[in-house]
Each structure stands twice: as structure tokens, then as C-alpha cells.
Amino acid sequence: MSRKSLYLAILLAAGCGTKNYNVGNPVVGPPPPRIKDALARQMQAEESKSLASVERSAEAEGIQPVSYEDKVPLELTAVVATVNGRPILASEILEQYLGKLKEYDQVLQQGVRKGGIDDSVRLAKIRETQEMLIKRDLDKYIEQVLMAEAVRSKLKKEQLDAVNEQLANYFEKDFVANLKAKFNVDSTAELEGILQSQGMSLESMRKMFADQQLAQQYVRTKMGEDPRPSRAELLAVYNKQKEKYSQPLQVKWQQLQINFKNGDSKEKAHQVMQQVQLELKAGKPFDDVVKRYSDGPLKDNGGHWDWTQPDSVANADVRKALQTLKPNEISPVITTPTSLQLVKVTARREAGHLPLEEVQEEIRQQIITEFREERARAVVEELRANAVIKTIFDGESDDKSAPKISGTR
């Protein structure tokens, strides 16, 4: 497996870089039933309790975010954010990109050796790339931590220990097993070696896995029942986006084509066409006549073309025939610079809109998806409103052309 393929597979498996709390399609699959049931029972018991606003600062927790020089690459142990005093390290976000960052640095080092750039420029570019990746992914990590910690805060120690044990077992039996199969290795040591060659580790993935599972469960618990749209609601959405369901004229058709190259050949083509018309007039099936006489590209299947928009056909005379012929009608002989043709329309779909009956299930799923996304946003906004969140980007200038990070946060 190539390095690029490995990197992509890990990103997809870990669900990194994408803000997605779609409970209908979890990033890493649904939690095991015992975990799901235990969490749901405990959270339902706590449902009447509102989340207390957390006033702990990073300093109160003994966490001291690093003071950074703007042009020096971040250390992986640097704290890039705190969520209710819980630190998020640069490594949690950058680890998945370490392989690519290393490759990028090697390219920059070549530039330094050739005298194209100064080493200070190399360091600055690495820092800028780190900041870009962190800034892109940080919100997703903050929200995941908020939700995972909200679940943990509602569990007693023995319950939390049991959940952690179940998550660890599920990680090993399902997630790790899938990775072994994906990378065609038998042992955990081999898998760890592959991951470490890309700057990753099973331990970091285990932690990410647990947070993702708990975050997904938190959203599920808060989500409530999916809506059941009525026909009136389906119709309202249909009418609102009706143009989405518009369709142009389409036809299914057959083509009989007799090619020629010069005057003599054209005369012979006319003689063949006369025979064709005689046989069609005598009642022979169009398919059989096409298979016997046509030079067209689809002669072996009777000259049948699937649904076609007439406007997409290059020849104006063929296009006009397809636009006007009724089903089972055959056109007059059409003469092109290189052929004589007959076309037959076998079916028509007039221009218009797909009926509600054909798209109502799609609309139903759209309504449910939008509901889930709206509820997920509300859940996250509620947690954010009651949280103390600090990042190294706080107070950063909106001028994206010259990004700067202040020192200590």
C-alpha cells in the first residue's frame, strides 16, 4: 500500500478534519449495546440537571500554555487550547499530519541547501502550515471534548471505569482488527510500526476513538425522536425546491445508419435505403432491419439508444426528428455528409418536473438530516455557552493575509 493510500485510509478511519456529528452515520460506528445502554440510562437519570457553568481557568488547573515565537514551529507538547481546563495539545491535531509535514519540511530543506530560501523562512513556513491545520480542525476537537467530558461528568467512577473498559475492548476487537485487515498485517506490533512510520500511534487513536464514541452518544441522547414529516410538509419542501426536480425532454430511440464515402458509394447507399424502406413497409421489425443493414455503432443491439436529451445530439436534422417524433414513429430519410439515416423514437419523457411520489423519500430523508444537524448544532452551542474555552488564536487579527498568534494565552 502506498504512503498516500495509507495516510488517506487512516484519516478516513479516524474521521479527522471533518466536523461531523451525524448520528445516523457515526464516524466510527455505533457504540456497543452495553456501552450505549449504560450511558443512556445514566444520562437520562441526569437529564433534569442543567450543566453548571465552569469557571476554572487553565491556570487554576496548573496548565500553562506555552509562549510561542511566531516563526518557530510548534512543539507537539504545546497546549493549543483548553476546554474547561482540559488541555488540547498540538499533537492531538497534528499527529495525523506528521508524515506530510515531514515530507513538506524535506522539500523546504532542499530549497535551503540550494540557496533558494533562508532557514528562517523554512521554519516560518512549517509554523504557518501547523497553524493552518490546527485552526482548520480545532473547533471539531473542542466540540468533541465538550461532549465527551459532558458524558464522563455524569458517570460515577465505577461506571466510568466500566465504560472505559468496554470502549477499550471494542477498540481492540473492532477498530484495530479492521486496521489490521486494511493494512494486511497480523500483529498489533506490525500495525503500530506502520502507524508510527506515519507519525501516528495506536494510543492516540484509542483516545480519539473513545472521545468520538462518547461524543456520538451525547448527541444521540440529546437528539430526541426523528420527525415524521406529513404529506403537507413533504409537499411544502417539494414546492420550495421544485426546480431541483425539473427534467428536460428525453427520448429513447433507434438509429439505422448507412455510410458512404463518394458519389458511387452514395448511390449504393440510396439503393440500400430503398430496400430498407420496402422491408419496413412490409412489416419487418425495425430491430431486425437495423441488424441486417445498418453501419451504425449500435447495430448489434438493434440501434437502440438509452434516454437521450435531443439537444445533446450534434446533427440538427436528427435532433429535430427526436424532438418531434411520437413513440413508434419513424423519421423520413435524413441525409448527412457521410450517411443516410432513419431514426425511430421508442419512448418519450416530456420536459417537466418529477412528481412528488418519485422524490418524497428523498425529501423525507432531507428533512430528517436537517433536523439532526440543527439539533446537533444546538447541543454544541449549549455546551459552548457553559464552557470556558481558550485557544492560542484568541484575539487573533481577522487579517488572514498576515496571521499572527499572540504569546501566552
305-306-312 Cα angle (round to 5): 80
pLDDT of res. 70: 60
Nearest to 196 by CA among 105, 130, 107, 99: 99
Nearest to 250 by CA among 330, 306, 297: 306
pLDDT of res. 19: 44
For residue 58, count CB atoms less than 10 angstroms from its CB and return exposed for 0-12, middle for 13-18, buried for 19 or more.
buried
Instruction: State whether the Cα torsion 53-57-61-66 is positive or negative.
Output: positive
- Report the alpha-carbon distance of residue 405 to residue 73 in Å, rounded: 12
E-only strand ranges, 177-319 = 246-247, 250-259, 304-308
- Report the alpha-carbon distance of residue 95 to residue 200 in Å, rounded: 6
Q: Enumerate the β-bridge partners of residue 343.
A: 255
pLDDT surpasses 60 at 259: yes
pLDDT of res. 199: 65
Over residues 44-102, the pLDDT tens digits come to 444 444 333 333 433 444 434 444 456 789 988 899 999 999 899 998 899 889 889 99
Sheet holding 86-89, edge to edge: 86-89, 79-83, 389-391
50-56-58 Cα angle (round to 5): 140
Question: What separation in angstroms does the CA of 334 have from each of 71, 318, 340?
Answer: 72, 7, 6
* H or E element that contains 263: helix 263-281
Query: Bigger pLDDT: 63 or 245?
Result: 245
Please list, residue by residue across 272-291, b when 16 or more beta carbons sit within 10 angstroms of its beta carbon and e when fewer do.
bbeebeebbeeeeebbebbe
Over residues 14-44, the pLDDT tens digits come to 333 334 444 333 333 344 444 445 445 544 4
pLDDT surpasses 70 at 269: yes
355-357-363 Cα angle (round to 5): 95
Phi-psi region for residue 404, left (φ > 0), alpha (ψ -120 to 50) or beta? beta
Question: What separation in angstroms does the CA of 24 have from each of 18, 55, 251, 307?
Answer: 16, 34, 38, 35
Over residues 281-311, the pLDDT tens digits come to 999 999 999 999 999 999 999 999 999 999 9
Mean pLDDT of 384-403: 73
Whether 6 contacts 183, CB under 8 Å: yes
Highest-confidence range of 178-187, 258-267, 330-339, by mean pLDDT? 330-339
Whether 350 contacts 326, CB under 8 Å: no
Question: What separation in angstroms does the CA of 183 have from each of 8, 12, 190?
Answer: 12, 14, 10
Mean pLDDT of 129-139: 94
Q: State the first-to-last Cα distance of the chain, in angstroms, to the nearest integer.
A: 42
Q: How confident is the model at residue 217 (pLDDT cuts 50, 70, 90)?
A: confident
Q: Which domains does the chain have, with CATH numbers?
A: 3-228+363-391 (no CATH), 249-350 (3.10.50.40)
How long a stretch of residues is the chain?
Answer: 409
pLDDT surpasses 50 at 399: no
- Report the alpha-carbon distance of residue 228 to residue 360 in Å, rounded: 12
